[in-house]
């Protein structure tokens, strides 16, 4: 079954990083777990009208931790090979 | 004896419609009027549309919910869809200008439909946190259920402890109230 | 480049975003569970029972045959399914209130009878769905709506040690573990072993998952993680407690 | 497949609890879930003895809540599951049955009423009528048969499975301690040999993929808004009303010219039958009416009789539980009502005859 | 002793759950036992906040069975104990309440009805009327108050303690989710300052020796023979009948010349009141009747009205649970009945006015 | 020379002979309990709750304030008494069915909350009052009315280890032991310690007593003793499991 | 069509009245007659008086218990007290001669009162174990509900497996039956 | 409260031994536990019309075990000093 989500993609040296705004509830769990501290609040609003997040792609290592800890599967991370 | 005024306020979980309703109800009660406020609630702790039903009058209030409101305020797309059934021929329907994709859902039968830039005003002029106080201002202006002074007193009662710590907050809230009253 | 969300295959896409609050651990538990189910390839044979508690919000969470039951009664419903059709792989999903309070007779008796089902319990130290009352698992001193001055252990006892209790009434065939949403990989591993234990016909399997409830804890993201990782683990020891497969010297994680 | 438990027909002399076990076998029940309680125990005793011989299953649960909920699980898995209980166990059974009502899970519960309230006696009564017909939190969308002898206990237990699976309302066979424990003769039969078609259960959960694709079922009993619930209840109510004429059963005789019609149900109607026969033999104009389904209640049928007779004598081994059903059913009638209420004890023909004579 | 929670009188603007907590304090309840369920939770929340300040106790139990049975234990120990529940919790509560009925243990249960059957909604309904009035296995020897606003919620919660301890029948305050959650004004008062005497509880167990000798109490709820039980039930039935006139409460107005009398209870009667006033103001002859006690039901009082009016309009947020009580109560009356049944949703004055106009 | 029966002082003479069957272990358990109560001198302060099960036959057994409750509900009733009047010394008396099956949620939660009550459970390996059905404690292979071909552990699990389970969810304050009517002196000792533990305010106390049911076991006196002493003890280990008083090196009997 | 015969048998737990009633009922059923047998039962597994209610006739039987029996057999003091209420003007009341202290409790209104030395006969002449078969003999003789042959056949059906192992038992039982019939 | 029980006393060298017939249910538990094997069925009937027991006082040591194991307190034993 395919459902379209509004995606906000970011590209960085180490990989690509995407937040699906209609999935992100702005809980901030990812932000706390990012080893690089490179996530911050975005001005885009998410599922509950709350702010979503965005990465600083300069620092992002595409490690995928943020993706792993997101309870809503709102982040996709693809590491460059 | 004036007619009981019926108000429905609806928004997303975090938008604070329940506080608005509660503060207005408290203010009316303090004025010695009859007030009845009931929140809707469901199984989800958050998520889902939050609706506040508020009635203010001079006689004991009848049933806690109603079929037709005098004023309906809807603050999100889902809130618009959920509350349009409370609109009748004499209803004022208020929604926020920032809501997208609801053109077809706006009630056709309202006495008056009012788009209000509350979200924008709160963001640009004041502070997103007082968004709901702007709404409160709009509601009391549109309905006259309580006076501005009593509304302020009720705000004081509810948020006084915060105002103590940070007096600028008081002004922020009062401004929001006034701005809301202007928007109607 | 991926532009579709990387959800477990067995998640029902149409019901996402799911109904849990922002930062809710239920989402993480069910993510780990979804991945475990995907990896074991048992989506079609699985039957998922959701308790009343915030778990009920998962009634349409999965593309898995699901029944939402009554508060505390998921264990018997799922037991009934399994007894009637042993080909199903049955999962009972519940909260600490549903499992350790109102449904504890079902939990301990299903465990004692060694029912071939898998019980997964999200421990968030409170009755979340009803607005944050004290649960059997509430931490000493922790404030809730019914322990407004903090849980007094003299009045209300210490937090229930669920997996330890289950372990005490099960025999060799049972799998018992406690994981945490703070370590999803480990948690997923426990789920896989628990399900495998059922599929192998060994017996009962039980995994408690330490979970988060920012809404009722009234915590921001930082404090949510801190409470989970620092406070809860003082009372709830993460690890495998019973593992039939580990018999030959192999030890749990 | 193992062979049929009952080949064709055979006369038997059994206790009521044995009869229920045989009937469940005859109805092709697959699995019983249960918790012991007097006077229902022997249903489980006979079932557990016979089950393995016919490839049937049994689970003894930790309480009646579990017996009820495992039964629902069994039904969801696509099996003909049933349970049996009594008294305080029946009280607990109302929780699972309220879920069955909401989710329209077909389920069969055999109740052998004992004295109440509380633990009271383990013997006999008709004091579980209100609870069995209307249940827990909800509107009592359920079907309740009240058999009066072993033949009917057999017939209606078999029928209950068809009723439950056909209409998907929880279905109860409301027996009692006397019926459970007494021995009398009846004819056991294979319903299919008599041309009674037995409905095949279908799984709700754990279904097989069709053409390689599985479509998943997500079932719930909780709703977010009042309106969602309202629509469902009203729909169920309509459905219930529509099937009622098909489901309703009753018995009557000698009512045409009767001055007094004795209304009773279950085992008490055996005494009523004897009494009416005796009274008629003495030339007294007595009639007999008996609801076989207590819910839905044969309202129109009784009303027609109430319109013709002078007095209804309501007789039951409770403090007026059937009487309430009667009054609700025929409201508007001005027939006189008399009562013989014997909570927790049996009623004999002799005392009924005496009562009627004193009335006339 | 700590000081009184309420000194004299004070106006307050509260939710219904707060009101109940205050009323229990005012009635000098000693201890609450409870298990969370929406929409009753805040009774416990407020009670646990206030309890320590007034030397009161609280125990959160593992389920509603335990909440009910611990409550009975508290009463047996000589304390004013109470509990509160709703929906599926109320279903479970019927088991302990059947013991209370049998052993005549005074007990107070506040019920905040929610949608049913099953888990349904956590919001509102009047679908627990049958269950609350008649309960589990037994004859429903209990007293049920149905308040309609916060003042009454306060008044009748206080009264419930006196009723329970005076008559020793389990006593229920049957509220609902709307009443639980809405905020309105009322006057809190110290009942003793108003001259209401509060009955002092006495211990059944753990009694003190008198003059150095203790006489021991052995209580049971189980009997050996049917006749023992019969005698008890009949005796309770008589007692219940005798106290009923004293217990029964109702409200009526504008019934004298009414063409239609609206019958409703609880929160729905607020809409009924408004509707009757509106209809009268339009010159239409509508009347208002409201049972305040649903059990015992004000049968004679309603019958007197039914004898005078043409139609009773039965209105309730359930699929006919109050209607059943009405029909049983006034059986024999030929008044026409009309219905407005809204299971699980509220009723407004507007729709009642419309309904009556369409009828006339 | 004694010509009056040497009954414990707190036995109610008028109700003797009691209602238990010939050779029933309930009589022995209550004899040991009666003696324990006499020796502690707590007859006047004691409150005795009797479960449904053959224990109900004890509703007028003692000259002690007694309430006979519902099946499985004695723990909460007695908890309610104790919470409302902490001066009472509360005893909940029940069978294995009442304690480990229908009432197990109450047992484990009262234990977890460390209620200051004493629970005494007569384990006779079956549901006696209802005529001998399988209980959680029925031994493997043992025939009962609902396990007519013998308890199949694969279907019904192994006998529930009640005291072990209770021990697993209690903390220091609790007293937990298993005695047997085959050693009444020891059993009485356990009862005294259990009651003392309550009186000292330490916490929950629980004693399981292995008991006899010649009626449903269908045993004569010899086989009754043999079943109790040889069969049951294979599965149920007699001894103290938890004893707060034994902390300082002192060990249980 | 003959009248339905109503029989109440009462004794202590171990005296075997339920077996007697059951065997007679089986015998009547085998004869193709209508029989209904119901035991009384209470909470106690043993102890308490055991009462068997038995009815045999040619039409389906009505209510399982009755107010007045045609024959009442009481085998202990408590049984006498418990069952005298089933005695009417046409009732035969049978009790065992060995029962002490019941003189005042014997029913006054019975058609016939019969003291029967069944306990003594079983002890002295036969075997205490067949005490209840003596009673059975007395009952079938007094009521004619089944023939001696059918009673024997029913005994055979119920106890056949024991008779196989020990054929002298058969004779013992048959003798007891005959002795019982003689005692009436 | 005093209730009279029909007592059957026996005297022996080591002490006196009494059975209260209306308490004895004839379960036989005592018999099995008597270390001297000196208990046997009596022709007197007990509480349930079942035989009671009697000792062989020649062998009885008045040890009191039978008394201790009787669930009905139907035996009294007094050791001679
Ligand atoms: C019989 C019954 N009692 C009470 C409730 C109310 N109830 C719903 S959810 C809940 C608590 C859930 O807590 P938990 O099981 O810990 O799950 P969580 O919400 O914390 O995930 C309660 C008490 C109910 N639905 N049914
Ligand atoms: C709710 C409920 N369910 C079932 C019963 C029936 N019942 C009465 S006693 C009993 C079993 C008792 O077994 P146990 O607790 O082991 O005590 P025992 O008789 O063996 O001493 C049961 C199932 C009941 N009274 N109430
Ligand atoms: S964890 Fe997920 S839902 Fe939460 S803020 Fe990050 S992306 Fe959004
Ligand atoms: S991928 Fe890793 S580094 Fe990049 S934002 Fe996520 S957690 Fe931080
Ligand atoms: S209330 Fe707590 S447990 Fe429930 S969904 Fe919200 S965060 Fe999760
Ligand atoms: S049935 Fe068993 S447990 Fe019950 S009284 Fe008789 S011997 Fe004791
Ligand atoms: S143990 Fe007691 S009751 Fe049993 S036979 Fe011996 S004396 Fe009699
Ligand atoms: S006192 Fe000792 S020796 Fe004597 S009979 Fe009793 S057990 Fe045997
Ligand atoms: Mg929880
Ligand atoms: Mg037992």
Interface contacts A/C by beta carbons within 8 Å: 82
How many Å apart are CA E33 and CA E198, to the nearest integer? 21
Confidence grade of residue F168 (pLDDT, cut at 50, 70, 90): very high
How many Å apart are CA B138 and CA A10, to the nearest integer? 40
Q: The domain spanning residue A39 has which CATH number?
A: 3.30.70.20
Residue C61 within any structural domain of the chain = yes
Confidence grade of residue H3 (pLDDT, cut at 50, 70, 90): low
Pocket-testing residue among C58, C99, C130, C139, ligand 1, by greatest number of atoms within 8 A of Cβ: C130
CATH code, E10-194: 3.40.50.970
Interface contacts D/F by beta carbons within 8 Å: 50
Residue H33 within any structural domain of the chain = yes
CB contact under 8 A, E41 and C133: yes
Domains E10-194 and E250-359 in one fold: yes
Mean of the pLDDT values across residues D258-265?
A: 98
Number of neighbouring beta carbons within 10 Å of residue D90:
30
Number of domains in chain C: 1
The answer to whether residue F1 scores a pLDDT higher than 60 is: no
The answer to whether residue H50 scores a pLDDT higher than 90 is: no
H41 with G5: CB under 8 angstroms? no
A7 lies within 8 A of chain C by CB: yes
D203 lies within 8 A of chain C by CB: yes
Tokens of G127: 């075997």
**Residue of chain D minimizing CA distance to G59:** D274
Q: Over chain H, what is the mean pLDDT?
A: 92
Mean of the pLDDT values across residues H1-26?
A: 88
E25 with E56: CB under 8 angstroms? yes
pLDDT at position F250, please? 45
How many Å apart are CA F146 and CA F148, to the nearest integer? 6
**Helix%, strand%, coil% for chain A, nearest 5:** 10, 35, 55
Number of domains in chain H: 1
Report how far apart, in Å, the C-alpha atoms of D265 and of each of D122, D170, D248, F240 are.
Answer: 20, 20, 14, 56
Report how far apart, in Å, the C-alpha atoms of E64 and of each of D153, E86, F53 are.
Answer: 35, 10, 22
Tokens of F160: 């529930």
pLDDT digits (tens, 9 = 90+) for D278-310: 999 999 999 999 999 999 999 999 999 999 999
How many Å apart are CA E339 and CA E247, to the nearest integer? 27
pLDDT digits (tens, 9 = 90+) for F17-59: 999 999 999 999 999 999 999 999 999 999 999 999 999 999 9
Mean of the pLDDT values across residues G34-40?
A: 95
The dihedral over CA atoms of H20, H22, H25, H31, expressed in degrees to the nearest 10, equals 20
Domains of chain G from N-terminus onward: 5-183 (3.40.920.10)
Residue nearest to atom 25 of ligand 1 (CA): C71
The dihedral over CA atoms of D81, D86, D88, D91, expressed in degrees to the nearest 10, equals 50
Report percent pLDDT > 90 for chain C.
94
Residue H49 within any structural domain of the chain = yes
pLDDT at position C250, please? 45
G1 lies within 8 A of chain E by CB: no
CB contact under 8 A, D183 and G22: yes
pLDDT at position H1, please? 42
How far off is chain F from D88, nearest CA to CA, in Å? 9
Mean of the pLDDT values across residues F123-150?
A: 98
pLDDT at position A2, please? 52
pLDDT at position B128, please? 84
Which residues have CB under 8 Å from D300's CB, separation 6+?
none
Confidence grade of residue G2 (pLDDT, cut at 50, 70, 90): low
**Chain B neighbors (3+ CB pairs < 8 Å):** A, C, D, E
Least confident of B139-143, C49-53, D231-235, F180-184: B139-143
Least confident of E230-234, F141-145, G120-124: G120-124
Which residues have CB under 8 Å from A76's CB, separation 6+?
A7, A17, A18, A20, A67, C2, C3, C4, C5, C6
Residue C1 within any structural domain of the chain = no
pLDDT at position E147, please? 98
Domain containing A42: what range?
26-79
- CB contacts of F7 in chain H (<8 Å) are 73
The answer to whether residue B44 scores a pLDDT higher than 80 is: no
Q: Over chain B, what is the mean pLDDT?
A: 91
G157 lies within 8 A of chain D by CB: no
User: Which atom of ligand 3 is nearest to A28's Cα?
Assistant: 5
C59 with C50: CB under 8 angstroms? yes
**Residue of chain D minimizing CA distance to E120:** D222
Confidence grade of residue H4 (pLDDT, cut at 50, 70, 90): confident
B35 with C49: CB under 8 angstroms? no
How far off is chain B from D222, nearest CA to CA, in Å? 8
Domain containing C162: what range?
13-244
CB contact under 8 A, H71 and F31: yes
How many Å apart are CA D126 and CA C46, to the nearest integer? 43
pLDDT at position D2, please? 60
How many Å apart are CA E56 and CA E33, to the nearest integer? 11
Confidence grade of residue F251 (pLDDT, cut at 50, 70, 90): very low
Give the E-state strand segments of G107-179 in sequence order.
112-116
C154 lies within 8 A of chain A by CB: no
F24 lies within 8 A of chain H by CB: yes
G85 lies within 8 A of chain D by CB: no
- CB contacts of H49 in chain G (<8 Å) are 12, 14-15, 76
Which residues have CB under 8 Å from D307's CB, separation 6+?
D333, D335
H79 lies within 8 A of chain F by CB: no
3-state secondary structure of C171: coil
Residues lining ligand 8, CB < 6 A?
A: H 34, 36, 38-39, 55, 60-66, 77
- CB contacts of H50 in chain G (<8 Å) are 14
B177 with B169: CB under 8 angstroms? no
Please tell me the distance between residue C220's alpha carbon and the centre of ligand 9 in angstroms: 18
**Residue of chain D minimizing CA distance to C47:** D206
Least confident of B134-143, C81-90, C218-227, E184-193: B134-143
How far off is chain E from B61, nearest CA to CA, in Å? 8
Give the E-state strand segments of chain E in sequence order.
9-15, 31-34, 57-60, 81-85, 108-113, 143-145, 171-176, 183-189, 218-219, 250-253, 260-263, 286-291, 293-295, 311-316, 336-341
The interface pTM score, or ipTM, of the predicted complex is 0.97
Pocket-testing residue among A29, A32, A37, A38, ligand 4, by greatest number of atoms within 8 A of Cβ: A38
Q: List the domain boundaries for chain D.
A: 10-194, 250-359
The answer to whether residue C253 scores a pLDDT higher than 60 is: no
Continuous segment of H or E residues that includes residue G53: strand G49-57
Residue A39 within any structural domain of the chain = yes
In terms of Cα–Cα distance, which of E98, E201, E133, C95 is closest to F73?
A: E98
CB contact under 8 A, F2 and H76: yes
E158 with E25: CB under 8 angstroms? no
How many Å apart are CA C144 and CA F30, to the nearest integer? 42
* Low-confidence residues in chain E, pLDDT < 50: none
**Residue of chain B minimizing CA distance to C57:** B44
pLDDT at position D282, please? 97
pLDDT digits (tens, 9 = 90+) for A6-27: 899 999 999 999 999 999 999 9
How many Å apart are CA G156 and CA C26, to the nearest integer? 68
pLDDT at position E360, please? 86
- CB contacts of E57 in chain F (<8 Å) are 83-84
CB-ligand 4 contact for A23 (6 Å cutoff): no
The answer to whether residue C252 scores a pLDDT higher than 60 is: no
Q: Over chain F, what is the mean pLDDT?
A: 95
CATH code, E250-359: 3.40.50.920
User: Which atom of ligand 3 is nearest to A46's Cα?
Assistant: 8
């Amino acid at each position: 079954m395919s459902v379209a989500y509004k995606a906000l993609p970011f590209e960085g040296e180490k990989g690509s990083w995407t937040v699906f705004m209609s999935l992100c509830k702005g809980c901030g769990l990812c932000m706390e777990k990012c080893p690089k501290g490179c996530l911050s609040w975005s001005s885009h609003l998410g599922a509950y009208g709350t702010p979503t997040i965005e990465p600083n792609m300069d620092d992002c290592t595409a490690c995928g931790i943020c993706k792993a800890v997101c309870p809503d599967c709102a982040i996709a991370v693809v590491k460059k090979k | 004896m004036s007619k009981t005024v019926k108000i429905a306020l609806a928004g997303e979980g975090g938008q604070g419609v329940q506080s608005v309703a509660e503060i207005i109800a408290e203010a009316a009660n303090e004025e010695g009027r009859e007030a009845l406020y009931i929140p809707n609630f469901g199984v989800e702790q958050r998520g889902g549309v939050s609706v506040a039903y508020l009635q203010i009058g001079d006689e004991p209030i009848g049933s806690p919910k109603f079929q037709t409101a005098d004023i309906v305020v809807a603050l999100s797309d889902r809130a618009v869809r959920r509350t349009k059934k409370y609109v009748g021929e004499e209803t004022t329907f208020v929604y926020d200008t920032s809501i997208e994709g609801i053109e077809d859902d706006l009630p056709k039968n309202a006495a008056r439909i009012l788009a209000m830039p509350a979200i924008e005003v709160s963001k640009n002029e004041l502070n997103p946190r007082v968004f709901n106080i702007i709404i409160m201002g709009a509601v009391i202006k549109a309905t006259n259920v309580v006076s501005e002074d009593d509304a302020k007193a009720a705000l004081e009662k509810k948020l006084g402890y915060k105002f103590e710590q940070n007096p600028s907050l008081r002004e922020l809230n009062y401004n929001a109230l006034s701005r809301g009253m202007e928007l109607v | 480049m991926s532009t579709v969300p990387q959800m477990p295959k067995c998640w029902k896409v149409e019901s996402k975003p799911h109904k849990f609050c922002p930062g809710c651990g239920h989402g993480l538990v069910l993510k780990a569970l979804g991945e475990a189910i995907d990896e074991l390839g048992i989506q079609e044979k699985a039957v998922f029972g959701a308790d009343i508690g915030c778990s009920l919000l998962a009634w349409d969470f999965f593309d898995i045959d699901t029944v939402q039951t009554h508060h505390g009664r998921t264990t018997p419903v799922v037991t009934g399914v399994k007894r009637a059709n042993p080909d199903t792989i049955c999962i009972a999903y519940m909260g600490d209130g549903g499992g350790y309070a109102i449904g504890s007779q079902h939990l301990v008796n299903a465990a004692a009878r060694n029912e071939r089902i898998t019980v997964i319990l999200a421990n968030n130290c409170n009755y979340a769905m009803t607005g944050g009352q004290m649960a059997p698992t509430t931490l000493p001193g922790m404030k809730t709506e019914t322990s407004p001055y903090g849980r007094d252990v003299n009045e209300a006892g210490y937090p229930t040690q669920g997996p330890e209790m289950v372990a005490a009434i099960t025999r060799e065939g049972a799998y018992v573990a406690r994981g945490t949403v703070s370590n999803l990989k480990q948690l997923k591993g426990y789920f896989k072993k628990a399900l495998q234990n059922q599929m192998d016909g060994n017996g009962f399997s039980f995994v408690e998952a330490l979970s988060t409830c920012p809404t009722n804890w009234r915590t921001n993201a930082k404090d949510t993680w801190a409470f989970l990782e620092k406070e809860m683990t003082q009372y709830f020891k993460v690890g495998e407690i019973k593992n039939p497969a580990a018999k030959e010297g192999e030890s749990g994680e | 497949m193992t062979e049929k438990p009952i080949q064709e027909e055979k006369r038997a002399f059994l206790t009521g609890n044995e009869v229920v076990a045989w009937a469940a076998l005859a109805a092709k029940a697959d699995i019983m879930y249960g918790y012991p309680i007097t006077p229902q125990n022997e249903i489980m005793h006979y079932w557990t003895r016979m089950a393995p011989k016919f490839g049937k299953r049994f689970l003894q649960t930790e309480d009646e809540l579990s017996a009820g909920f495992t039964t629902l699980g069994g039904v969801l898995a696509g099996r003909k599951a049933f349970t049996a209980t009594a008294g305080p166990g029946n009280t607990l059974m109302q929780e699972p049955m309220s879920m069955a009502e909401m989710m329209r899970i077909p389920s069969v519960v055999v109740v052998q009423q004992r004295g109440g309230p509380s633990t009271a006696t383990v013997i006999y009564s008709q004091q579980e009528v209100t609870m069995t017909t209307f249940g827990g939190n909800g509107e009592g969308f359920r079907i309740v048969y009240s058999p009066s002898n072993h033949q009917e206990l057999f017939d209606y237990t078999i029928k209950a499975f068809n009723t439950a699976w056909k209409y998907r309302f929880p279905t109860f066979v409301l027996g009692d301690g006397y019926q459970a424990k007494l021995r009398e003769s009846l004819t056991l039969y294979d319903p299919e040999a008599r041309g009674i078609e037995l409905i095949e259960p279908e799984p709700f959960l754990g279904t097989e993929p069709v053409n390689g694709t599985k479509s998943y079922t997500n079932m719930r009993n909780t709703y977010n808004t009042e309106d969602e619930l309202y629509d469902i209840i009203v729909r169920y109510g309509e459905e219930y009303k529509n099937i009622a004429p098909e489901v309703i059963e009753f018995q009557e005789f000698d009512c045409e010219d009767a001055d007094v019609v004795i209304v009773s149900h279950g085992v008490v109607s055996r005494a009523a039958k004897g009494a009416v026969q005796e009274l008629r033999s003495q030339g007294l104009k007595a009639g007999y009416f008996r609801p076989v389904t207590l819910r839905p209640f044969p309202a129109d049928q009784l009303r027609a009789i109430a319109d013709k007779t002078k007095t209804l004598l309501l007789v039951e081994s409770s403090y007026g539980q059937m009487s309430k059903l009667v009054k609700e059913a025929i409201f508007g009638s001005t027939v006189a009502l008399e009562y013989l209420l014997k909570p927790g004890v049996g009623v004999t023909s002799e005392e009924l005859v005496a009562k009627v004579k004193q009335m006339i």
